[in-house]
Structure formats: structure tokens, C-alpha cells
Amino acid sequence: MDENFYITTPIYYPSAKPHMGHAYSSIISDFFARFKRIQGCNVLFLTGTDEHGQKIQRAAENKGMDPKSFCDEISKTFNDLSKTLNLSNDDFIRTTENRHKKSVTNLWKILEKRNEIYLSKYSGWYSVSDEAFYSEDETEEKNNTRTSKTSGSPVEWVEEESYFFKLSKWQEPLLKFYSDNPKFILPESRKNEVISFVKSGLKDLSISRKSFSWGIKVPSNNDHIIYVWLDALTNYISALNYPNVQDKLYKDFWPASLHLIGKDILRFHAVYWPAFLLAADIPPPKRVYGHGWILSGEEKMSKSKGNILDPIEIIDQYGLDPLRYYLIKEVSFGNDGNISQEKLENCINSDLANNYGNLCQRVVSFNEKDFNLKIPNNYKFNKDDQQILNTYSSNIENLINSIDNQNINYYVNFIQEQLFAANKYFNDQEPWRKKSDKERLNSILYVSLELIRKISILLYPIIPESSIKALKIFNITEDKIDFDSIKNHEILKVNSDINKIPILFKKIIKND
Ligand code: ME8
């Protein structure tokens, strides 16, 4: 397969160090990037930091630092986190880089040239925390503070000269775009919210600010700073060397296959971004998926609420792959989810240590005693063998479709069922009682090893490090992992050597 696949995370504000919500978006994006790679696609995976605007300027001031040094410091913690999370990102973009400034300035000039921008005056509410403008009816008075109804963050009154983007003009073209591209916004429930918002009427959008200086200047009027969202969204094409539209990266990867974001920033990605692009005659991305929130108690985790979970602490205590597995499996994708230590420990003990790790150890140890660490020969699949093996070949299209529709839950359920089925197969077939029936014994061991190979491949996008460790049994290295091979049941070469591997997951001893 030579399909190109371009996936992006949101670019994160380096206003404070990363938390579990950021880790979540990044891990899910990595899951898709890794799946597409083992499917044989040419993948580009981008993440980065969104460094301009009043929010960052104020955060830097609070620390008594200049914004650039402040961003250098915190952006590094996001870049370090990408490594700690074992993200397979190909690039990490910072909006303070020249390649990005060039790209934003160019997009602005095109919009100006196409008469999509005009100068006027903005008066209304602005949330620095969300970097968003709100109309009167989108705000409310709470504890003597005017706040945004959707995010709860405080808003302040802004009155200043501003450039406007003619968003109202794009209302109908956007609605047509949504109906021509029914899977542009997922999940479906959020798509409906966006469509009703657009149908309710779009006002022109203020796209420059004058009252602070930290940002990219409007090329034709240096008193103005380009609105941070117009700046930030453009990162997705800056990384492809836009405005050089002849560049191979741009040609191969634009329009993006998937912008994966949290539901809080769907409006920016599903309304403003395609409108800017349509206005500049650039094709919009193929899909925007707005995932749910990781909650702490009942609330969205965020710095301002002081209820953040630190991914590094969890990784130090439990390891990376357990956290990745937990976030991908336990947070029903598309919905909000809670993190609990108890559920995480249950996941480690039951799914990872018992069902997966133990299966690998049992089968390899059995093989060592009876087959001297060789793939059995002279096997013959019976009906039970055929049935369990065929589950993979008959589900391969469903699995691919589930990923192509961001239905992670289907993919993860399939793995869980197959882990259960593989353990049951080994127990039910009782190879320890088949020592006198060599052909049957050979077959059970061959099938069990083959099931470990298939499951480990399926697990690779979720827990890459552990999957690679398990695939060492068969001397399969990361670059040889091929998703399509799960439909083939006779890849393992008879009489070839297999390897013992260390315990994959340690069980958590609970003190209750
Ligand atoms: O909004 N649960 O940056 P940001 C799940 N710079 N995901 C969460 C989360 C939570 N509790 N909290 C944050 C910005 N996220 C802009 C984006 S893109 C061109 C510019 C994730 O640092 C989620 O993906 O506030 C959310 O959309 C993103 O982090 C916001 O990160």
C-alpha cells in the first residue's frame, strides 16, 4: 500500500507543563500513526507547540521572563514528553520558528489579496485563557466574574481596531462542504453541534489584536498582531513547507488525513480552519476528530482548575505501556473518561500481565521443554485451529475500517476477545496431555505461537515497546511488522529458532 497518511495532534500551549490531557491526544495520534505505518502507508505525524498570543505573553510575565525564553523552556518539556511517551512523530513544530512565520505571513497576504480581510473595530468579550472571542449570549455572570458558558474561563471586554475575516460569507460554502464530506467531522454527535452552530449564523471574525506584541505581525500593518488561532492552525501546512506548494511534503501530505483534537477546540478546526483555507483556495483537511476529555472527578482537567494529573508520575510508577494501554482501552474513544488508579492497576494485572504476558511466557516455556525453542514441524490444523486462526483473516477488513473511522473501541475489543480466546485455546487443548500424539502437540504449539504473533502485531500501535519485546520471540524486528500478515497463518517457519523473553508486565500487588 502506498497511500499517504498525514496525522496531527493539536499544537499545545507551552503556558505550563504538559498534563495527562495532552498526553492523551498525543498517544491516540501515535496509535493511528503506528497503525497506518504497519499497514504500509507513507505516514507523516506532526506535533508541536503553539507559542504566540496574550496567554503565553502573560504566563511569561508572571514568571518574570521574556516570552521567547519562557517558550524555549516549556516547549522543551513538551518535546521531552513526546520522547517519554514513545511518540513516533516525524516532526515537532514551534510557531516561533521562521518556517512557520513565513507560512502564516503568506496565508495572510493571500487572504488580503483575495479581499477576504477588512479593517474595522472589535468590541466584545475575549477569553485570554481560550484565546477566543465570545458574543454576549455565549457568556454569563458567575461569582461576580463574566465567564464563557462553554469553557467557564473568565472573559474581558476588548475594544480595539482589528482586522476581520469575512467568515459570514463562508457560511453556505461550509454547509455545502460538510454535506459533500459527511465524514469531515467525527464523531457524528459533535458534527451535528458544529452544523447547528454554522446554521445559526456566522459573524465575521476578528483576526488581529493591537493591545500586545507577542505574535506574528500583520505584514501590511505592523501595529497589529495576527490572531493566535489563525497563526496556530497554519502550523499544519507550515510543517509541509507551505507556501512552497511544489514541495514534495506539501504535495504528498496536504490535505491532511486527520487532525486529532479535543472537543474543546472543534469550532476552530471544523469552522474557522476550513473557512480560512477555502477563502485562500487551499483544500481543507479530510477529517477532524474531536475526542472527549480526561476528567478529574467530574471536571475537565486543566491547569487553571488545579486538578491536573502528571503523566510522568504515572509512568514512573507503572511504566509507559500500561498508561498507553489504559488510556486507549479504558477511555471509551469519543467520550469523556476518568482516570483511576484502581482501574489502571486492574488493566495491568488482568489484560497485560495475565492475559498477554502470561500467554507469551507459558507458550514459550512449554515450547522450550518439548521443542527446544524451535517452531514445531509436522503440524496439521484441525477444526478448532482453523476456527481460531480464521477469526483474524475474516476480521481484517473490519479492523482496517474501524481504524479508518476512528473506531478505536472496536479494535481494542477485538484484541481483548482474542487474548481471551488464545488463553482459552491453550487451556482447552491441554497440550500437556497430548505428549503421545505428536502431530496434535505440534499443531497446538504452532497455533499458540502464531496467535502470539498476531496479537502482538495488533498490540503494536497501542503498546509498541512491549509488542516489539514479544515479537523478539520470532526474531521479528520493528521494521518487519506487517499488519496484513495477521491474515496469513503459516508465516512461522518450521524448525526455525524462537527466543525466550523476559517477563513483559509485572503484576501489581494490591494491599487490600
Ligand atoms: O488549545 N482531556 O492548546 P492546549 C483530554 N494551542 N484532552 C485534553 C485535556 C483533557 N482534560 N486538556 C487538554 C490549545 N487536552 C491550542 C491548540 S491547535 C492548532 C492549537 C488536549 O494546550 C486536547 O487535545 O490548551 C485539547 O484540544 C488540547 O489538549 C488543547 O491543548
Report how far ligand 1's centroid is from the alpha carbon of 165 (Å). 24
Q: Are 256 and 286 in contact (CB under 8 A)?
A: yes
Report the alpha-carbon distance of residue 311 to residue 24 in Å, rounded: 9
Report how far ligand 1's centroid is from the alpha carbon of 102 (Å). 25
pLDDT at position 298 is 66
Report how far ligand 1's centroid is from the alpha carbon of 10 (Å). 6
What's the pTM? 0.96
pLDDT at position 322 is 97
Q: Collect all residues with Cβ–Cβ distance below 8 Å to 493 and sequence separation of at least 6.
A: 375
pLDDT at position 309 is 79
> Which residue, judged by its Cα, is nearest atom 29 of ligand 1?
22
Report how far ligand 1's centroid is from the alpha carbon of 55 (Å). 14
328 closest CA partner among 407, 423, 420? 407
Sign of CA dihedral 22, 213, 209, 119: negative
Report how far ligand 1's centroid is from the alpha carbon of 18 (Å). 10
14 closest CA partner among 88, 86, 81? 81
SS3 of 294, please? Answer: strand
Q: Residue 374: beta bridge partners?
A: 497
Residues 122, 128, 132: CA angle, nearest 5 degrees: 55
Substitution candidate for ligand 1 out of 25, 31, 299, 303 with most atoms within 8 A of CB: 25
Residue 10 CA, closest ligand 1 atom number: 18
276 closest CA partner among 107, 50, 61? 107
pLDDT digit string, tens, across residues 107-150: 999 999 999 999 999 999 999 999 999 989 999 999 889 999 98
* pLDDT < 70: residue spans in the chain: 1-2, 297-308, 511-512
Q: Collect all residues with Cβ–Cβ distance below 8 Å to 357 and sequence separation of at least 6.
A: 503, 504, 505
pLDDT at position 1 is 61
pLDDT at position 303 is 57
Could you tell me if residue 333 is left (phi over 0), alpha (psi between -120 and 50 degrees) or otherwise beta?
beta
Report the alpha-carbon distance of residue 6 to residue 46 in Å, rounded: 8
Report the alpha-carbon distance of residue 461 to residue 456 in Å, rounded: 10
Q: Are 368 and 500 in contact (CB under 8 A)?
A: yes
> Which residue, judged by its Cα, is nearest atom 16 of ligand 1?
12
> Which residue, judged by its Cα, is nearest atom 23 of ligand 1?
262
Residue 296 CA, closest ligand 1 atom number: 11
> Which residue, judged by its Cα, is nearest atom 13 of ligand 1?
21
Assess whether the previous peptide bond of 243 is cis (omega < 30° from 0). yes
pLDDT at position 438 is 96
Q: Collect all residues with Cβ–Cβ distance below 8 Å to 393 and sequence separation of at least 6.
A: 486, 487, 488, 489
Q: Where does ligand 1 bind, in terms of residues with CB under 6 Å?
A: 10-13, 21-22, 24-25, 50, 232-233, 235, 261-262, 264-265, 293-294, 300-301
Report how far ligand 1's centroid is from the alpha carbon of 22 (Å). 6
pLDDT at position 147 is 95
